Amino acid sequence: QAQVVESGGGSVQSGGSLSLSCAVSRYTSSLYLMAWFRQAPGKEREGVAAIDSVGSTRFADSVKGRFTISQDNARNTLYLQMNSLKPEDTAMYYCATTSHTYVSDHDYLAPGIYDYWGQGTQVTVSS
């Protein structure tokens, strides 16, 4: 069983930056796949960014060039640096990891493959 805890987030004006962190008590598979998701009120949860053990990443088109995902495997910590934030980035952001040992990189942003989730942290961007 893994525990996932997000931190960071908050409120910022459009164009600003925020950084999120996620601590994982232990990795649940050798894949070390972790990801950030977000969910705005009335909308489905969507994948934002993912990273695996060799540093391969996937980003949603809506955040490419603005968000950066990174990890510190020694500390079991995942980060999301969010720059040039827009009001449409407003959402609850979740960190997740998976116990699956194989996942196609095409599925890295699919919520269904993740089975350990944090409680979420709110990001609000005002115009």
| pLDDT single digits (tens) 56-93 | 999 999 999 999 999 987 768 999 999 999 999 999 99
pLDDT of amino acid 31? 61
Alpha carbon dihedral 12, 34, 51, 55, in 10-degree steps, equals: 120
Residues of the chain with pLDDT under 70: 27-31, 75
In sequence order, which residues have a C-beta less than 8 Å from that of residue 18 and are 6 or more positions away?
A: 8, 9, 10, 12, 82, 85, 123
pLDDT of amino acid 84? 98
Neighbours of 16 (CB within 10 A): 15
Which has the closest alpha carbon to 68: 52, 51, 53? 51
Which has the closest alpha carbon to 111: 50, 64, 42, 65? 50
